[in-house]
Chain A
Amino acid sequence: MVSDLGPYLAEHPILEGMRPEHIQLMVGCAENVRFHPEEYLFREGEKSDRFYFLRHGKVSLELYHPKGGGAMVVQTLGEGDVIGWSWLFPPHYRNLDGRATELVRAIALDGACLRGKCEADHELGYEIMKRFAHLMEKELQAMQLRLLDMYAPTH
């Protein structure tokens, strides 16, 4: 089962070009998961070490807001995206709710497991950090563009 995930991880856009031995090290921390619509991948405030490579389906990142009983959708993510930063930084608490809005298939990585491997193999650690830093930069830029409120009325 575990050995089957290698090819799936290797073809994920974020991990493109990663050396096979590094992929294999990651596979050791990986697990195939699925979530049904309306199921939560995680909840705000949870202590969690997991993160997800999305293979299929959509996930809504939300913050509960008491007015109107609903949630504010911060961002939606889908196929090819990575969800979850909290595994990287102590104390590893979730800042958002992650809710599946359709059937979601993903590869979940055990953060503690991968952190251990990164500490042991800094070359793997550097590869992963580079890719996550790039991901964060892209997310930050998207946030900046949204913050500009580009389509706002001009008068």
Chain B
Amino acid sequence: MERAELGHLIDVLQREGREVVGPIFRNQAIDIGPITTEADLPIGCVDEQERATYRLTRNGSARVFGFSEPAASFKPYIFPQRQRIAAFRREGRGFVDEHHEEPIPRLALFGVRACDLAAIAILDRILLEGPYVDESYRRRRESCFIVAVNCAQPGGTCFCASTQTGPNCTFGYDLVLTELHAKGNHRFLIEAGSPDGLEILEHLELSEPTDDDIDFARRQREHAADSMGREMNVHGLTELLNDNTQHSRWDDVASRCFNCTNCTLVCPTCFCATIEDTTSFDGKQAERWKRWDSCFTLDHSYVHGGAVRVSSRARYRQWLTHKFGTWKEQFGMLGCVGCGRCITWCPAGIDVVEEIEAIRGSDEKVREEVDHG
């Protein structure tokens, strides 16, 4: 597909009645927001990410996806920060269900990286594939069309190659793009991953990729996998973390952590939510709202009488141990997709890769292999 056809793809999606959301330039960063034309895309933007560091520059390049993972994930579009889940009206000594149904937009998630695709798959596992189904998530999720993009530009805090969730998109998309930009040649490789994707392809002007295109894409993929900003040994993390609940590193990290909840807010897989009840002034109407919650708050573990996780140490331990350890016991997969956002956006500069390695480096449990050896 020629570069010029990209705008056409956005048009086609909109003509299908979809609201397109994808990477945009907002608040000095690349965020996820509405896209009506290709001009909304942060063309030529390059980001620099490190712990507690995010810097965006425009380098004048024509590259469309020349940046690494955006500051925000697509999570808010399938799992809103705040949503009304029920409304009731008082009637006598009882109440009736107002049967409200929030309108669900038909979305096209545009420019989804492999890490965020993996994150969506994790949320699917939790909210759709367990014994219960989250209806509001299901409705949102089913209405999504996904245009993924193979990541050519991992950032300084990225480690999706370690978590085996990227940088290439292998599943979970309707269409996937590979940007080919070199020596004046600017094209996209576009592949369908679903019947819906194939249908969209029919509306586009496409040409067969050349062998050079395919070779370039392969080399770009390999290069991306080799240029991860970070590397994490994910072997045996569940056992490591479960066996080190009393590790002194928890005190160390707690002394740096502000409990600001940033990491949980930027994390594309954090799914904790709380329910808020509201009433109208006359007491006749009541609503139930679901909103994001964070295990870094005291309220999160509140049982009558007080919170279970009172110390910052316990709350950080809960987050890290869940994400990298118990998540696997619960859902059969890591809770981390290696996107690095929690490292970039932690104001204290806490780096999960470093924390995990610190614990591994002074594992307080003598491993069985050592025992028998």
A–B contact with Cβ pairs below 8 Å: the answer is yes
Question: Which residues on A are within 8 Å of B, measured CB to CB?
Answer: 154-155
Dominant SS among interface residues on chain B:
loop
5 A-B contacts (beta carbon < 8 Å)? A154-B304, A154-B305, A154-B306, A155-B304, A155-B305
Q: Which residues of B contact A154 (CB under 8 A)?
A: 304-306
Question: Which residues on B are within 8 Å of A, measured CB to CB?
Answer: 304-306
Q: Tally A-B pairs: CB < 8 A.
A: 5
Looking across the interface, which residue of chain B has its beta carbon closest to that of A152?
Answer: B305
How distant is the Cα of A155 from the Cα of B304 in the complex, in angstroms? 8
Dominant SS among interface residues on chain A:
loop
Shortest Cβ gap from B298 to chain A (Å): 16
Q: Which residues of A contact B305 (CB under 8 A)?
A: 154-155
How distant is the Cα of A10 from the Cα of B260 in the complex, in angstroms? 65
Q: Which residues of B contact A155 (CB under 8 A)?
A: 304-305
Q: Which residues of A contact B304 (CB under 8 A)?
A: 154-155
Shortest Cβ gap from A152 to chain B (Å): 9
Q: Which 5 A-B pairs have the closest CB atoms?
A: A154-B305, A154-B304, A155-B304, A155-B305, A154-B306
How distant is the Cα of A128 from the Cα of B16 in the complex, in angstroms? 89
How distant is the Cα of A152 from the Cα of B306 in the complex, in angstroms? 14
Shortest Cβ gap from A155 to chain B (Å): 7
Shortest Cβ gap from B304 to chain A (Å): 5
Shortest Cβ gap from B142 to chain A (Å): 43
Looking across the interface, which residue of chain A has its beta carbon closest to that of B303?
Answer: A154
How distant is the Cα of A155 from the Cα of B306 in the complex, in angstroms? 9
How distant is the Cα of A154 from the Cα of B305 in the complex, in angstroms? 5
Looking across the interface, which residue of chain A has its beta carbon closest to that of B306?
Answer: A154
Q: Which residues of A contact B306 (CB under 8 A)?
A: 154
Shortest Cβ gap from A2 to chain B (Å): 56
How distant is the Cα of A87 from the Cα of B305 in the complex, in angstroms? 44
How distant is the Cα of A155 from the Cα of B303 in the complex, in angstroms? 11
How distant is the Cα of A86 from the Cα of B38 in the complex, in angstroms? 92
Shortest Cβ gap from B301 to chain A (Å): 15
How distant is the Cα of A129 from the Cα of B109 in the complex, in angstroms? 77
Shortest Cβ gap from A150 to chain B (Å): 11
